[in-house]
Structure 1
Protein backbone atom coordinates (compact mmCIF):
# COMPACT_ATOMS: atom_id res chain seq x y z
CA UNK A 1 0.00 0.00 0.00
CA UNK A 2 0.98 3.62 -0.41
CA UNK A 3 0.04 6.23 -2.96
CA UNK A 4 -2.97 5.25 -5.08
CA UNK A 5 -3.51 7.48 -8.09
CA UNK A 6 -6.76 8.74 -9.58
CA UNK A 7 -9.19 7.82 -6.83
CA UNK A 8 -12.69 9.17 -7.51
CA UNK A 9 -13.89 11.60 -4.85
CA UNK A 10 -16.61 14.18 -4.37
CA UNK A 11 -15.82 17.49 -2.66
CA UNK A 12 -18.58 19.55 -1.06
CA UNK A 13 -19.90 20.88 2.22
CA UNK A 14 -20.29 18.37 5.03
CA UNK A 15 -24.09 18.32 5.16
CA UNK A 16 -24.32 17.46 1.45
CA UNK A 17 -21.57 14.86 1.63
CA UNK A 18 -23.26 13.13 4.53
CA UNK A 19 -26.43 12.84 2.46
CA UNK A 20 -24.37 11.56 -0.46
CA UNK A 21 -22.91 8.83 1.75
CA UNK A 22 -26.09 7.81 3.56
CA UNK A 23 -28.61 8.10 0.71
CA UNK A 24 -26.50 8.26 -2.42
CA UNK A 25 -28.12 11.62 -3.02
CA UNK A 26 -26.66 13.55 -5.95
CA UNK A 27 -27.77 16.99 -7.06
CA UNK A 28 -27.20 17.17 -10.81
CA UNK A 29 -27.18 20.77 -11.95
CA UNK A 30 -27.69 21.92 -15.52
CA UNK A 31 -25.07 23.02 -18.02
CA UNK A 32 -26.90 26.33 -18.26
CA UNK A 33 -26.56 26.92 -14.51
CA UNK A 34 -22.77 26.68 -14.62
CA UNK A 35 -22.57 29.26 -17.41
CA UNK A 36 -24.16 31.83 -15.08
CA UNK A 37 -21.99 31.17 -12.04
CA UNK A 38 -19.04 33.31 -11.05
CA UNK A 39 -15.85 31.75 -12.41
CA UNK A 40 -13.72 33.09 -9.57
CA UNK A 41 -14.43 30.15 -7.25
CA UNK A 42 -13.61 27.53 -9.86
CA UNK A 43 -17.16 26.27 -10.31
CA UNK A 44 -18.80 28.39 -12.97
CA UNK A 45 -17.67 28.30 -16.59
CA UNK A 46 -19.35 30.24 -19.40
CA UNK A 47 -18.11 27.59 -21.85
CA UNK A 48 -20.36 24.85 -20.40
CA UNK A 49 -23.05 25.40 -23.04
CA UNK A 50 -20.53 25.71 -25.89
CA UNK A 51 -20.45 23.35 -28.85
CA UNK A 52 -17.34 24.68 -30.61
CA UNK A 53 -14.57 27.25 -30.28
CA UNK A 54 -11.92 28.74 -32.55
CA UNK A 55 -9.32 31.45 -31.95
CA UNK A 56 -8.34 33.18 -35.19
CA UNK A 57 -4.79 34.48 -35.38
CA UNK A 58 -4.61 38.25 -35.84
CA UNK A 59 -3.53 39.54 -39.24
CA UNK A 60 -1.22 42.54 -39.35
CA UNK A 61 -2.02 44.56 -42.46
CA UNK A 62 -0.64 47.73 -44.05
CA UNK A 63 -2.91 49.76 -46.29
CA UNK A 64 -1.58 52.45 -48.65
CA UNK A 65 -3.87 55.43 -48.76
CA UNK A 66 -4.46 57.64 -51.81
CA UNK A 67 -2.36 60.41 -50.25
CA UNK A 68 0.63 58.08 -50.11
CA UNK A 69 0.51 57.49 -46.38
CA UNK A 70 0.43 54.00 -44.88
CA UNK A 71 -2.13 52.81 -42.37
CA UNK A 72 -0.95 49.97 -40.17
CA UNK A 73 -3.55 47.75 -38.52
CA UNK A 74 -2.73 45.60 -35.50
CA UNK A 75 -5.96 43.78 -34.79
CA UNK A 76 -6.36 41.51 -31.82
CA UNK A 77 -7.24 37.87 -32.28
CA UNK A 78 -10.85 37.03 -33.00
CA UNK A 79 -12.37 34.37 -30.78
CA UNK A 80 -15.53 32.68 -31.97
CA UNK A 81 -17.54 30.48 -29.63
CA UNK A 82 -20.63 28.63 -30.80
CA UNK A 83 -23.22 27.97 -28.15
CA UNK A 84 -26.94 27.33 -27.91
CA UNK A 85 -29.33 28.46 -25.21
CA UNK A 86 -31.14 25.16 -25.54
CA UNK A 87 -28.05 23.06 -24.81
CA UNK A 88 -29.51 20.94 -22.04
CA UNK A 89 -28.17 18.22 -19.81
CA UNK A 90 -27.25 17.65 -16.17
CA UNK A 91 -23.85 16.97 -14.66
CA UNK A 92 -22.44 15.73 -11.39
CA UNK A 93 -18.86 16.80 -10.96
CA UNK A 94 -16.38 14.67 -9.05
CA UNK A 95 -12.57 14.64 -9.05
CA UNK A 96 -9.64 12.27 -9.48
CA UNK A 97 -7.11 12.62 -6.66
CA UNK A 98 -4.15 10.72 -5.28
CA UNK A 99 -4.58 9.02 -1.91
CA UNK A 100 -2.07 7.74 0.58
CA UNK A 101 -3.40 4.45 1.93
CA UNK A 102 -1.69 2.97 4.99
CA UNK A 103 -2.38 0.13 7.38
CA UNK A 104 -1.85 1.34 10.95
CA UNK A 105 -2.58 -0.95 13.89
CA UNK A 106 -4.59 -3.21 11.58
CA UNK A 107 -6.74 -0.28 10.53
CA UNK A 108 -6.82 1.01 6.99
CA UNK A 109 -6.33 4.78 6.84
CA UNK A 110 -6.53 7.36 4.07
CA UNK A 111 -5.04 10.76 3.57
CA UNK A 112 -5.71 12.92 0.51
CA UNK A 113 -2.67 14.36 -1.20
CA UNK A 114 -2.89 18.15 -1.67
CA UNK A 115 -6.06 18.31 0.43
CA UNK A 116 -5.87 22.11 0.24
CA UNK A 117 -7.35 21.78 -3.26
CA UNK A 118 -10.75 21.68 -1.55
CA UNK A 119 -10.39 25.37 -0.85
CA UNK A 120 -9.84 26.12 -4.53
CA UNK A 121 -12.94 24.28 -5.75
CA UNK A 122 -16.01 25.94 -4.37
CA UNK A 123 -16.36 28.36 -1.51
CA UNK A 124 -16.77 26.61 1.84
CA UNK A 125 -16.10 23.06 0.67
CA UNK A 126 -14.79 21.14 3.66
CA UNK A 127 -15.47 17.42 3.14
CA UNK A 128 -14.67 14.61 0.73
CA UNK A 129 -16.41 11.34 -0.01
CA UNK A 130 -13.87 8.80 -1.24
CA UNK A 131 -15.27 6.16 -3.59
CA UNK A 132 -13.59 2.88 -2.63
CA UNK A 133 -15.22 0.81 -5.39
CA UNK A 134 -15.73 3.00 -8.49
CA UNK A 135 -17.01 0.11 -10.63
CA UNK A 136 -19.82 -0.63 -8.18
CA UNK A 137 -20.55 3.07 -7.76
CA UNK A 138 -20.96 3.60 -11.50
CA UNK A 139 -23.07 0.44 -11.71
CA UNK A 140 -25.49 1.75 -9.09
CA UNK A 141 -25.68 5.10 -10.84
CA UNK A 142 -26.42 3.41 -14.16
CA UNK A 143 -29.18 1.24 -12.69
CA UNK A 144 -30.85 4.24 -11.06
CA UNK A 145 -30.65 6.37 -14.21
CA UNK A 146 -31.89 3.51 -16.39
CA UNK A 147 -34.86 2.96 -14.07
CA UNK A 148 -35.78 6.60 -14.77
CA UNK A 149 -35.66 5.95 -18.50
CA UNK A 150 -32.38 7.72 -19.25
CA UNK A 151 -28.76 6.86 -20.03
CA UNK A 152 -25.73 7.71 -17.90
CA UNK A 153 -22.50 8.95 -19.49
CA UNK A 154 -19.29 9.26 -17.50
CA UNK A 155 -15.64 10.03 -18.17
CA UNK A 156 -12.68 12.11 -16.99
CA UNK A 157 -12.85 15.65 -18.34
CA UNK A 158 -10.54 16.51 -21.23
CA UNK A 159 -8.88 19.94 -21.00
CA UNK A 160 -8.14 22.09 -24.03
CA UNK A 161 -6.29 25.34 -24.62
CA UNK A 162 -8.33 28.32 -25.76
CA UNK A 163 -5.16 30.13 -26.81
CA UNK A 164 -4.34 28.02 -29.86
CA UNK A 165 -4.86 29.74 -33.21
CA UNK A 166 -6.97 28.59 -36.15
CA UNK A 167 -7.93 25.29 -34.57
CA UNK A 168 -11.62 24.56 -34.31
CA UNK A 169 -12.46 22.58 -31.20
CA UNK A 170 -15.70 20.63 -31.03
CA UNK A 171 -16.75 20.84 -27.37
CA UNK A 172 -18.60 18.03 -25.60
CA UNK A 173 -19.97 17.97 -22.03
CA UNK A 174 -16.70 16.27 -21.09
CA UNK A 175 -14.41 19.10 -22.18
CA UNK A 176 -13.27 22.22 -20.32
CA UNK A 177 -10.63 24.89 -20.77
CA UNK A 178 -7.19 24.07 -19.39
CA UNK A 179 -7.45 26.86 -16.80
CA UNK A 180 -9.44 24.26 -14.84
CA UNK A 181 -6.97 21.42 -15.37
CA UNK A 182 -5.91 21.30 -11.71
CA UNK A 183 -9.42 20.14 -10.82
CA UNK A 184 -8.80 16.83 -12.59
CA UNK A 185 -12.56 16.43 -12.90
CA UNK A 186 -14.48 13.18 -13.33
CA UNK A 187 -17.97 13.90 -14.62
CA UNK A 188 -21.32 12.15 -14.74
CA UNK A 189 -23.69 13.42 -17.44
CA UNK A 190 -27.35 12.70 -18.13
CA UNK A 191 -29.57 14.35 -20.72
CA UNK A 192 -32.85 14.53 -18.82
CA UNK A 193 -34.37 16.50 -21.71
CA UNK A 194 -35.03 19.30 -19.26
CA UNK A 195 -33.30 22.49 -18.25
CA UNK A 196 -34.04 21.90 -14.56
CA UNK A 197 -31.76 20.49 -11.83
CA UNK A 198 -32.35 16.84 -10.99
CA UNK A 199 -31.84 14.96 -7.73
CA UNK A 200 -31.12 11.25 -7.93
CA UNK A 201 -30.66 8.79 -5.08
CA UNK A 202 -28.79 5.54 -5.57
CA UNK A 203 -29.07 4.40 -1.95
CA UNK A 204 -26.60 4.15 0.90
CA UNK A 205 -23.02 3.91 -0.39
CA UNK A 206 -21.21 3.62 2.95
CA UNK A 207 -20.21 0.07 2.00
CA UNK A 208 -18.20 1.37 -0.96
CA UNK A 209 -17.31 4.91 0.15
CA UNK A 210 -16.04 6.91 3.10
CA UNK A 211 -16.41 10.50 4.26
CA UNK A 212 -13.49 12.52 5.57
CA UNK A 213 -13.12 16.11 6.70
CA UNK A 214 -10.28 18.28 5.43
CA UNK A 215 -8.88 18.63 8.94
CA UNK A 216 -6.95 15.38 8.73
CA UNK A 217 -6.75 11.62 8.34
CA UNK A 218 -9.82 9.52 9.24
CA UNK A 219 -9.92 5.81 9.91
CA UNK A 220 -12.34 3.61 8.01
CA UNK A 221 -13.56 2.36 11.39
CA UNK A 222 -14.35 5.81 12.78
CA UNK A 223 -17.95 6.78 13.38
CA UNK A 224 -19.26 9.63 11.24
CA UNK A 225 -19.65 12.76 13.37
CA UNK A 226 -23.09 14.32 13.69
CA UNK A 227 -21.58 17.73 13.09
CA UNK A 228 -18.22 19.33 12.41
Structure 2
Protein backbone atom coordinates (compact mmCIF):
# COMPACT_ATOMS: atom_id res chain seq x y z
CA UNK A 1 0.00 0.00 0.00
CA UNK A 2 2.78 2.40 0.92
CA UNK A 3 4.58 1.65 -2.34
CA UNK A 4 1.44 2.55 -4.29
CA UNK A 5 1.05 5.93 -2.55
CA UNK A 6 4.76 6.84 -2.31
CA UNK A 7 5.89 5.66 -5.74
CA UNK A 8 2.71 5.05 -7.69
CA UNK A 9 3.62 1.41 -8.22
CA UNK A 10 0.96 -0.33 -10.29
CA UNK A 11 1.20 -4.11 -9.98
CA UNK A 12 -0.76 -5.98 -12.65
CA UNK A 13 -0.94 -9.73 -12.16
CA UNK A 14 -1.39 -12.03 -15.17
CA UNK A 15 -5.05 -12.74 -15.94
CA UNK A 16 -4.40 -16.47 -15.55
CA UNK A 17 -3.62 -15.90 -11.86
CA UNK A 18 -7.24 -14.96 -11.13
CA UNK A 19 -8.68 -18.05 -12.87
CA UNK A 20 -7.03 -20.60 -10.54
CA UNK A 21 -10.16 -21.34 -8.49
CA UNK A 22 -13.47 -19.93 -7.26
CA UNK A 23 -13.79 -18.10 -3.95
CA UNK A 24 -16.37 -15.35 -4.69
CA UNK A 25 -13.66 -12.83 -3.81
CA UNK A 26 -10.28 -12.69 -5.55
CA UNK A 27 -10.50 -15.75 -7.81
CA UNK A 28 -13.00 -16.71 -10.52
CA UNK A 29 -12.74 -19.80 -12.73
CA UNK A 30 -14.89 -18.05 -15.33
CA UNK A 31 -12.27 -15.33 -15.82
CA UNK A 32 -10.93 -16.94 -19.02
CA UNK A 33 -14.31 -18.10 -20.34
CA UNK A 34 -15.33 -16.53 -23.65
CA UNK A 35 -18.47 -18.55 -24.36
CA UNK A 36 -20.97 -20.47 -22.22
CA UNK A 37 -23.77 -22.89 -23.09
CA UNK A 38 -26.42 -24.18 -20.69
CA UNK A 39 -28.89 -26.99 -21.46
CA UNK A 40 -31.57 -28.73 -19.40
CA UNK A 41 -33.05 -32.24 -19.85
CA UNK A 42 -30.69 -33.09 -22.67
CA UNK A 43 -29.04 -36.17 -24.13
CA UNK A 44 -25.27 -36.32 -23.86
CA UNK A 45 -23.53 -38.48 -26.48
CA UNK A 46 -20.05 -39.74 -25.58
CA UNK A 47 -17.58 -41.52 -27.86
CA UNK A 48 -14.86 -43.48 -26.00
CA UNK A 49 -11.36 -42.80 -27.34
CA UNK A 50 -10.52 -46.50 -27.37
CA UNK A 51 -13.80 -47.42 -29.11
CA UNK A 52 -14.50 -44.67 -31.68
CA UNK A 53 -17.40 -46.61 -33.21
CA UNK A 54 -19.25 -46.88 -29.92
CA UNK A 55 -21.60 -44.15 -28.72
CA UNK A 56 -22.71 -43.90 -25.09
CA UNK A 57 -25.83 -41.82 -24.52
CA UNK A 58 -26.62 -40.33 -21.12
CA UNK A 59 -29.65 -38.44 -19.88
CA UNK A 60 -28.49 -35.17 -18.32
CA UNK A 61 -30.71 -32.88 -16.26
CA UNK A 62 -28.20 -30.06 -16.70
CA UNK A 63 -25.25 -29.54 -19.04
CA UNK A 64 -22.83 -26.63 -18.84
CA UNK A 65 -20.26 -26.13 -21.58
CA UNK A 66 -17.54 -23.48 -21.33
CA UNK A 67 -15.13 -22.33 -24.02
CA UNK A 68 -11.92 -21.13 -22.36
CA UNK A 69 -8.80 -19.32 -23.58
CA UNK A 70 -6.22 -22.14 -23.64
CA UNK A 71 -2.99 -20.15 -23.50
CA UNK A 72 -3.87 -16.83 -21.87
CA UNK A 73 -1.67 -13.76 -21.86
CA UNK A 74 -2.32 -10.26 -20.58
CA UNK A 75 -2.58 -8.54 -17.23
CA UNK A 76 -5.30 -7.29 -14.96
CA UNK A 77 -5.59 -4.38 -12.50
CA UNK A 78 -8.77 -4.14 -10.41
CA UNK A 79 -10.29 -1.40 -8.27
CA UNK A 80 -13.47 -0.81 -6.28
CA UNK A 81 -15.38 2.06 -7.91
CA UNK A 82 -17.89 4.29 -6.18
CA UNK A 83 -19.40 7.70 -6.91
CA UNK A 84 -19.52 10.37 -4.21
CA UNK A 85 -22.15 13.08 -4.46
CA UNK A 86 -20.20 16.37 -4.02
CA UNK A 87 -23.34 18.12 -2.74
CA UNK A 88 -23.57 15.89 0.34
CA UNK A 89 -21.67 16.94 3.49
CA UNK A 90 -21.56 13.35 4.77
CA UNK A 91 -21.39 10.05 2.93
CA UNK A 92 -22.00 6.82 4.78
CA UNK A 93 -19.79 3.94 3.75
CA UNK A 94 -20.48 2.53 0.26
CA UNK A 95 -18.19 -0.40 1.07
CA UNK A 96 -19.12 -4.00 1.71
CA UNK A 97 -17.67 -5.66 4.81
CA UNK A 98 -16.26 -8.45 2.62
CA UNK A 99 -13.69 -6.02 1.18
CA UNK A 100 -11.65 -6.75 4.31
CA UNK A 101 -10.84 -10.11 2.71
CA UNK A 102 -8.45 -8.28 0.35
CA UNK A 103 -6.23 -7.03 3.17
CA UNK A 104 -5.93 -4.99 6.36
CA UNK A 105 -5.54 -1.65 4.53
CA UNK A 106 -6.62 -0.05 1.28
CA UNK A 107 -5.78 3.04 -0.73
CA UNK A 108 -8.47 5.61 -1.47
CA UNK A 109 -7.97 7.61 -4.69
CA UNK A 110 -9.87 10.89 -4.35
CA UNK A 111 -8.96 12.29 -7.77
CA UNK A 112 -9.73 9.51 -10.22
CA UNK A 113 -9.10 11.62 -13.32
CA UNK A 114 -5.49 12.37 -12.37
CA UNK A 115 -4.86 8.78 -11.32
CA UNK A 116 -6.24 7.24 -14.50
CA UNK A 117 -4.55 9.81 -16.75
CA UNK A 118 -1.16 9.00 -15.23
CA UNK A 119 -1.74 5.30 -15.88
CA UNK A 120 -2.96 5.86 -19.43
CA UNK A 121 -0.03 8.20 -20.19
CA UNK A 122 2.45 5.52 -19.15
CA UNK A 123 0.73 2.81 -21.20
CA UNK A 124 0.49 5.04 -24.27
CA UNK A 125 4.14 6.09 -24.06
CA UNK A 126 5.19 2.45 -23.71
CA UNK A 127 2.85 1.28 -26.47
CA UNK A 128 0.92 -1.07 -24.25
CA UNK A 129 -2.57 -1.68 -25.62
CA UNK A 130 -5.30 -1.74 -23.01
CA UNK A 131 -9.03 -1.67 -22.39
CA UNK A 132 -10.90 -0.61 -19.27
CA UNK A 133 -14.46 -0.40 -18.02
CA UNK A 134 -16.77 -1.10 -15.12
CA UNK A 135 -17.65 -4.77 -14.69
CA UNK A 136 -21.17 -5.90 -15.52
CA UNK A 137 -22.67 -8.52 -13.21
CA UNK A 138 -25.20 -11.12 -14.33
CA UNK A 139 -26.45 -14.58 -13.38
CA UNK A 140 -24.13 -16.98 -15.21
CA UNK A 141 -25.56 -20.17 -13.69
CA UNK A 142 -27.88 -20.69 -16.69
CA UNK A 143 -26.30 -18.30 -19.17
CA UNK A 144 -25.76 -19.15 -22.83
CA UNK A 145 -23.81 -16.88 -25.14
CA UNK A 146 -20.54 -15.03 -25.50
CA UNK A 147 -18.83 -13.65 -22.40
CA UNK A 148 -16.06 -11.06 -22.19
CA UNK A 149 -13.68 -10.18 -19.37
CA UNK A 150 -15.87 -7.30 -18.24
CA UNK A 151 -18.68 -9.69 -17.30
CA UNK A 152 -18.77 -11.56 -13.98
CA UNK A 153 -21.30 -13.56 -12.02
CA UNK A 154 -23.70 -11.87 -9.59
CA UNK A 155 -21.81 -13.50 -6.72
CA UNK A 156 -19.09 -10.87 -7.26
CA UNK A 157 -21.45 -7.91 -7.57
CA UNK A 158 -20.59 -6.52 -4.12
CA UNK A 159 -17.12 -5.64 -5.44
CA UNK A 160 -18.36 -2.87 -7.80
CA UNK A 161 -15.26 -3.50 -9.83
CA UNK A 162 -13.54 -1.30 -12.37
CA UNK A 163 -10.85 -3.15 -14.25
CA UNK A 164 -7.95 -2.39 -16.52
CA UNK A 165 -6.87 -5.12 -18.93
CA UNK A 166 -3.40 -4.88 -20.46
CA UNK A 167 -3.16 -6.67 -23.79
CA UNK A 168 0.41 -7.73 -23.30
CA UNK A 169 1.80 -10.96 -24.69
CA UNK A 170 3.14 -12.13 -21.35
CA UNK A 171 1.87 -14.46 -18.64
CA UNK A 172 3.74 -12.85 -15.76
CA UNK A 173 3.30 -9.67 -13.67
CA UNK A 174 3.55 -6.30 -15.40
CA UNK A 175 4.79 -3.61 -13.01
CA UNK A 176 5.23 0.12 -13.60
CA UNK A 177 5.29 3.37 -11.64
CA UNK A 178 3.38 6.61 -12.18
CA UNK A 179 5.00 8.73 -9.47
CA UNK A 180 4.07 9.87 -5.98
CA UNK A 181 0.30 9.85 -5.31
CA UNK A 182 0.18 11.62 -1.94
CA UNK A 183 -1.63 14.57 -3.55
CA UNK A 184 -4.53 12.38 -4.68
CA UNK A 185 -4.55 9.31 -2.40
CA UNK A 186 -4.33 8.13 1.18
CA UNK A 187 -4.20 4.82 3.06
CA UNK A 188 -6.82 3.77 5.57
CA UNK A 189 -7.55 0.72 7.71
CA UNK A 190 -10.22 -1.66 6.40
CA UNK A 191 -11.31 -2.58 9.93
CA UNK A 192 -14.95 -1.57 10.19
CA UNK A 193 -14.89 -0.39 6.57
CA UNK A 194 -18.64 -0.96 6.25
CA UNK A 195 -19.32 1.59 9.02
CA UNK A 196 -17.00 4.40 7.95
CA UNK A 197 -18.34 7.90 7.39
CA UNK A 198 -16.70 10.28 4.91
CA UNK A 199 -16.99 14.01 5.52
CA UNK A 200 -16.80 16.70 2.83
CA UNK A 201 -14.89 19.36 4.74
CA UNK A 202 -15.78 22.02 2.17
CA UNK A 203 -19.48 21.70 3.10
CA UNK A 204 -19.01 21.54 6.87
CA UNK A 205 -18.94 24.89 8.66
TM range (shorter): 0.7 to 0.9
Q: Does 1:112 align with 2:84?
A: no
Query: Does structure 2 retain, via aligned residues, the 8 Å contact 1:98–1:112?
Result: no
SS at match of 1:179: helix
Question: Post-superposition shift, 1:30?
Answer: 1.1
Q: Does 1:81 align with 2:66?
A: yes
Q: Alpha-carbon deviations, 1:157-210, whole Å to 9, x = none?
A: 111212235x31x22221111211111111011111111111111111121222
Aligned to 1:94: 79
SS at match of 1:76: strand
> After TM superposition, which residue ranges in structure 1, 4 or more long, deviate above 6 angstroms?
100-103, 217-221
Q: Alpha-carbon deviations, 1:71-98, whole Å to 9, x = none?
A: xx86221101001222221001111246
TM-score (normalised: structure 2): 0.76
Q: Alpha-carbon deviations, 1:21-70, whole Å to 9, x = none?
A: 1111121011111111x43361111111111112112249xxxxxxxxxx
Distance 1:179 1:27, change over 3 A: same
Structure 1: 5+ residue stretches without partners: 1-16, 61-72, 104-108, 222-228
TM-score (normalised: structure 1): 0.69
Distance 1:128 1:56, change over 3 A: same
Q: Does 1:46 align with 2:29?
A: yes
Distance 1:188 1:76 in 2: 38
Total equivalences in the alignment: 182
Distance 1:22 1:30, change over 3 A: same
Give the one of 27, 30, 33 matched to 2:14: 30
Distance 1:23 1:110 in 2: 29
Distance 1:220 1:213, change over 3 A: farther
Q: CA RMSD in A?
A: 2.7
Q: Does 1:149 align with 2:127?
A: yes
Aligned to 1:5: none
SS at match of 1:205: coil
Q: Does 1:129 align with 2:107?
A: yes
